[in-house]
Chains A and B, each alone.
Chain A
Amino acid sequence: MKISKAVVTAAGPGQSSLPLQRLVDRDGTEKTALELIIEEVDAAGIDEIAIVLSPGSEDAYRDAAGRYVDRLTFVTQAEPLGYGHALLCARDFLKSEPFLHLVGDHLYLSRSQRKCAQQLVQVAHAFGCNVSAVQATRESMLPYFGTIGGIRIPKENNLYEVKRVIEKPTPTLAEQELTIAGFRSGTYLCFFGMHVLTDSVMTILDERVRASNRPVPLSDALQEVAGRERYLACEVDGQRYNIGVRYGLLSTQLALGLSGIDRDRILTQLVELLSVQR
Chain B
Amino acid sequence: MNTSNKSASPKTQCGEAWIESIVSEDAPVRNRTLESLADGLDSTALLNVAQALDHFRRESGNLYHRVRAQMFLATIYRYLLPKTFSERQVGRITYEAYRHLLERRFSEAIDRLLSDQLTSGPTLATSSALARAYHQLGMQTLADQVRRSVRTVRGNQWMFRVAHPDDHPLRYNKLLLRSDPATGDYPILCEKTSVRMDFSHSGWSDIFFLGMDFPEGAKVLNASIDLGVFGRDSAPRPPVEAYLRVIDRPVLRLVSTDLGAEAELTQIDEVFDFAKDYLGLLKAALIAAGIVPPAMEGCRRPIQELMRVLLGCEGLGLELVSKVNDIPKGSRLAVSTNLLGCLISVLMRATGQVTRLSGGLDVNDQRLITARAILGEWLGGSGGGWQDSGGIWQGIKRIEGVIANAEDPEYGISRGRLLPQHTLLGEDMLPPSSKQALLDSLILIYGGMAQNVGPILEMVTEKYLVRAEREWQARQRAIEIFEGIVAALQAGDIRRMAALTTENFTGPLQTIIPWCTNRFTEEMIAKCRERWGEQFWGFLMLGGMSGGGMGFFFDPAVQAQAKPWLLETLVATKRGLQDRLPFAMDPVVYDFRINDAGSWCSMLNGAEAVMPDGYYSILAPKLIRKEVKELSDQAKRDLMRLNQACAMDPIRARWLLDRILPQPQSDSNAGISLSDSLTEHGFDREQHEQIRSELLSGRIGLSENRLPIQTEIRDVALDDVIDVRDRSRRSADSSSAGQRALREGRVAVVTLAAGVGSRWTDGAGVVKGLHPFCRFRGRHRSFLELHLAKSRKASQDADCPIPHVFTTGYLTHAPMQKYLEQHKFFDYPGSVYLSRGMSVGLRTIPTVRDLIFHWEETPQQILDEQQQKVRASAHNAIAQWARSCGEANDYIDNSPEQCMHPVGHWYEIPNMLRNGTLHGMLQTHPKLRYLLLHNIDTLGASLDPLVLSKHIESGACLSFEVIGRRIDDRGGGLARVDGKLRLLEGMAMPSDRDEFKLSFYSSMTTWIDIDQLLRVFGLDRNLLADGKRVDSAVRSLGGRLPTYITIKDVKKRWGLGQEDVFPVTQFEKLWGDMSSLTDVPCSYLAVDTVRGQQLKDPGQLDPWVRDGSAAYVDGLCRWSE
Contacts A170-B352, A173-B353, A186-B161 given; does A140 touch B154 at CB 8 Å: no
Check if A140 sits within 8 Å of B155, measured CB to CB.
no
A268 contacts partner chain B, Cβ-Cβ < 8 Å: no
**Stretch of B163-171, B678-686, B1001-1009, B1057-1065 at the chain-chain interface:** B163-171
Contact among B155, B156, B162, B171 for A173, CB-based, below 8 A: B155
Contact (A175, B352) CB under 8 Å given A140-B162, A140-B168, A142-B169: no
Chain B stretch 700-756: residues in CB contact (< 8 A) with chain A: none
Q: Do B353 and A186 touch (CB < 8 A)?
A: no
Interface string of B395-410 (1 = CB under 8 A from A): 0000000000000000
Complex Cα distance, B159 from A140, in Å, reads 11
Determine the chain B residues whose CB is within 8 A of the CB of A141 once the complex forms. Answer: 169
Decide if B351 touches A170 in the complex (CB within 8 Å): yes
Task: Give per-residue flags for A141-178: 1 if the beta carbon is below 8 A from chain B beta carbons, else 0.
Answer: 11100000000000000000000000010111111100
CB distance from B392 to the nearest CB of A (A): 16
Q: How far is the CA of A19 from the CA of B168 in the complex (A)?
A: 30
Closest to B351 in A: A170
State which size class the interface on B falls in: 20 to 34
**A-B pairs with lowest CB-CB distance, top 9:** A171-B158, A140-B167, A172-B353, A171-B169, A172-B155, A143-B171, A170-B353, A176-B154, A139-B169
The answer to the question of B290 belonging to the interface, with a C-beta cut-off of 8 Å to chain A, is yes
Task: Tell which of B157, B162, B166 has the most Cβ of chain A within 10 Å.
Answer: B157
B368 in the interface, Cβ–Cβ < 8 Å?
yes
> Would you give the 0/1 interface string for B835-876, flagging 1 where the beta carbon is closer than 8 Å to chain A?
000000000000000000000000000000000000000000
How many Å from the CB of B666 to the closest CB on chain A?
48
In the bound complex, how far is the Cα of B290 from the Cα of A174, in angstroms? 14
Beta-carbon nearest neighbor of B352 in chain A: A170
Which residues of chain A are within 8 angstroms of B159 by Cβ–Cβ distance?
171
Among B161, B166, B168, B368, the residue within 8 A (CB) of A172 is B368
In contact, B166 and A140 (Cβ under 8 angstroms): yes
- In Å, the complex CA distance between A235 and B479 comes to 53
Closest residue on chain A to residue B166 by CB atoms: A140
Contact present for A175 and B169 (CB under 8 Å): no
Residues in A with CB closer than 8 Å to B156 are: 172, 175
Q: Report yes or no: B169 in contact with A140, Cβ–Cβ below 8 A.
A: yes
Give the chain A neighbours of B157 by CB distance below 8 A: 175, 185-186
CA distance A142 to B169 in the complex (A): 6
Task: Name the residue on A nearest B290 (C-beta).
Answer: A172
For B348, list chain A residues within 8 Å (CB).
172
Q: In the complex, what distance in Å separates the CA atom of A168 from the CA atom of B351?
A: 12
Contact bitstring B64-82, A, C-beta under 8 A = 1, else 0? 0000000000000000000
Given the known interface contacts A139-B161, A140-B162, A186-B161, the answer about A171 and B170 at a Cβ–Cβ threshold of 8 Å is: yes
Decide yes or no whether A179 CB sits under 8 A from chain B.
yes
Residues 116-144 of A, flagged 1 when their CB comes within 8 A of B and 0 if not, give: 00000000000000000000001111110
A140-B162, A171-B290 as given contacts; A176 in contact with B155, CB under 8 Å: yes
Q: Which residue of A lies closest to B367 (CB)?
A: A176
Q: Closest residue to B348 on the A side, CB-wise?
A: A172
User: What A residues does B290 contact at CB under 8 A?
Assistant: 171-172
B171 touches A172 (CB 8 A): no
Q: Please, which residues of chain B bring their CB within 8 A of the CB of A185?
A: 157-158, 161
Q: Considering only CB atoms, which chain A residue lies closest to B364 in the complex? A: A176
- CB contacts (< 8 Å) of A168 on chain B: these are 171
Cα of A33 to Cα of B525 in the assembled complex, Å: 82
How long is the Cα–Cα vector from A254 to B171 in the complex, in angstroms?
Answer: 29
Which residues of A pack against B, CB within 8 Å? 138-143, 168, 170-176, 179, 185-186
Besides the known contacts A168-B171, A171-B159, A185-B157, 19 further A-B residue pairs in the complex with CB atoms under 8 A apart: A139-B158, A139-B161, A139-B167, A140-B162, A140-B167, A141-B169, A170-B351, A170-B352, A170-B353, A171-B162, A171-B170, A172-B348, A175-B155, A175-B156, A175-B158, A176-B155, A179-B154, A185-B158, A186-B161
Instruction: Return B1025 CB to nearest CB of chain A, in Å.
Output: 81
List chain B residues, Cβ under 8 A from A174: 158
Residues of B within 8 A of A142 (CB): 169
Chain B residue contacts of A143, Cβ below 8 A: 169-171
Most B CB within 10 A of own CB, among A139, A171, A176, A186:
A171
CB proximity of B407 to chain A, nearest CB, Å:
12
Residue of A with least CB distance to B170: A170
User: Counting chain B CB atoms within 10 Å of each CB, which of A140, A174, A185 scores highest?
Assistant: A140
Q: How far is the CA of A140 from the CA of B163 in the complex (A)?
A: 11
- CB-nearest residue of chain A to B164: A140
- Please give the distance in Å from A278's CB to the nearest CB on chain B: 21
Would you give 9 A-B contacts (Cβ < 8 Å), ordered by A?
A: A139-B158, A140-B166, A140-B169, A142-B169, A143-B169, A170-B169, A175-B155, A185-B157, A186-B161
In the complex, chain B residues 353-396 whose Cβ is within 8 Å of any chain A Cβ: 353, 368
What is the minimal beta-carbon distance from A49 to any residue of chain B, in angstroms?
A: 33
CA distance A139 to B161 in the complex (A): 10
Q: How far is the CA of A78 from the CA of B168 in the complex (A)?
A: 36
Q: How close is A147's CB to chain B, nearest CB, in angstroms?
A: 11
CB proximity of A143 to chain B, nearest CB, Å: 5
Instruction: Give the docked Cα–Cα distance between A199 and B352 (Å).
Output: 32
Task: Please give the distance in Å from B305's CB to the nearest CB on chain A.
Answer: 14
Q: Give Cα distance in the complex from A140 to B165, angstroms.
A: 10
Nearest B residue to A169 via CB reads B352
Chain A residue at minimal CB-CB distance from B159: A171
A16–B156 alpha-carbon span in the complex (Å): 40
Is the pair A186, B158 in contact by a Cβ cutoff of 8 Å?
Answer: yes
Contact with A along B122-153 (1 / 0, CB 8 A): 00000000000000000000000000000000
Contact residues in A for B162 (Cβ distance below 8 Å): 139-140, 171
Chain B residues closer than 8 Å to A171, beta-carbon distance: 158-159, 162, 169-170, 290
Most buried by B among A138, A170, A173: A170
Enumerate chain B residues within 8 angstroms of A186, measured Cβ to Cβ.
Answer: 157-158, 161
For A138, A139, A168, A185, the residue with the greatest tally of chain B CB atoms inside 10 Å of its CB is A139
Interface residues of B in 158-194 (CB under 8 A from A): 158-159, 161-162, 166-171
Q: How far is the CB of A204 from chain B (nearest CB, A)?
A: 22
> What 0/1 pattern do residues 1062 to 1073 of B give for CB contact below 8 A with A?
000000000000
Please, which residues of chain A bring their CB within 8 A of the CB of B353?
Answer: 170, 172-173
**Residues in B neighbouring A175, C-beta threshold 8 A:** 154-158
The residue in chain A whose Cβ has the minimal distance to the Cβ of B293 is A171
Cβ contacts under 8 Å, A140 to chain B = 162, 166-169
Give the docked Cα–Cα distance between A174 and B951 (Å): 77
A166 to chain B, nearest CB (A): 11
Q: How far is the CA of A179 from the CA of B158 in the complex (A)?
A: 12
Smallest CB–CB gap between B152 and chain A, Å?
Answer: 10
| B167 to A, closest residue via Cβ | A140
**Residue with the greatest number of chain A CB neighbours at <10 A, chosen from B167, B169, B171, B348:** B169
Task: State A173–B154 Cα separation when bound (angstroms).
Answer: 9
Q: Measured between alpha carbons, how far is A117 from B169 in the docked complex, in Å? A: 29
Question: How far does the alpha carbon of A139 sit from the alpha carbon of B368 in the complex, in Å?
Answer: 19
Provide the bound-state CA to CA distance between A179 and B168, in Å: 18
Cβ distance A250 to chain B, nearest Cβ, rounded Å: 18
Closest chain A CB from B668 CB (angstroms)? 55
A255 to B876, CA, bound (A): 51
Q: Determine the chain A residues whose CB is within 8 A of the CB of B155 once the complex forms.
A: 172-173, 175-176
Report the bound CA distance from A271 to B132 in whole Å: 64
Q: Which of B237-292 contact A (CB under 8 A)?
A: 290
Q: How far is the CA of A53 from the CA of B159 in the complex (A)?
A: 40
